[in-house]
Amino acid sequence: MERGNPLLDDYVLSLTGTPRPSVCFLPSASGDADHYVVRFYKAFADRADASHITLFRREAGARDLRAHLLSQDLIYVGGGSLVSLLGVWRAHGIDVILREAWSRGVVLCGLSAGALCWFDRALTAYYGRPEPVGGLGFLPWSFTAHYDSEPERREEFHRRVAAGMPRGFAADDGAALHFRRRDLLRAVTSKPDACAYSLRVVADEVKEDKLEATYLGDDPCPAHRPPLVSAADRFAPRPQPPAVAA
């Protein structure tokens, strides 16, 4: 819901594969702020069956949270406080429901806190100095947003990765990372100069690589383009021992 620029919203809607998808907004990170809910409906009501769930109000918007979320084509998570988002989700079991939705192929997306939440570790600066927070762990890496607009994040992210935080990704405002399960498919942007990055430790130093990214203003349908195989290979989960059935 980038003001005046629908390119990223158009992209995530295209991933549902249906002309009028069901889209549910979770504004939990903002404390279910009314103005944020209004922005969501302005952005999506004309082209989707839009709904929202509030966890800070009595009128939650859906009696059966699990049934409603699992019936969606797309779940869109808003920005705000990552700590508050994770706390209220865990209290209401939303974290468990979202993992089930993810396993069923529901498209999950979000901005700011709504992007940080999917990773194992995230760097949030909502309360001032950037600090790491444990996320949902759907994606087994670290992540930070606002990489260009909040310069202190880059320095702190490098320091944390060097100190042992999982290798990961960073995104400028207007940049997005598209994963299928745990494979990075591509980076896309709503601004020509926005960038996304991968970070890893090489020879005891943090190496930051700019990812190849598609500007959606030039290519509105990059979902049909080849994936970023090199990035996916580089960030593939480390080999695990075979499972043992008992």
DSSP 8-state symbol, 65: H
71, 22 Cβ separation under 8 angstroms: yes
Residue 89 is which amino acid?
Answer: W
Q: What is the pLDDT of residues 190-244, one digit of tens each?
A: 999 999 999 999 998 999 999 999 999 987 666 655 454 444 444 443 333 333 3
User: Strands across the sheet with 49-52, in order?
Assistant: 49-52, 22-26, 74-77, 107-110
List the chain domain ranges: 1-111, 118-217
> What amino acid positions are annotated as catalytic residues?
112, 146
The residue among 200, 193, 191, 192 whose CA lies nearest residue 170 is 200
pTM: 0.88
Label residues 173-186 b or e (16+ Cβ within 10 Å = b): bbbbbbbeeebbbb
More confident residue, 233 or 91: 91
1-111 has CATH 3.40.50.880 classification: yes
95 vs 75: CA distance, rounded Å: 13
Question: What's the average model confidence in pLDDT over 74-97?
Answer: 96
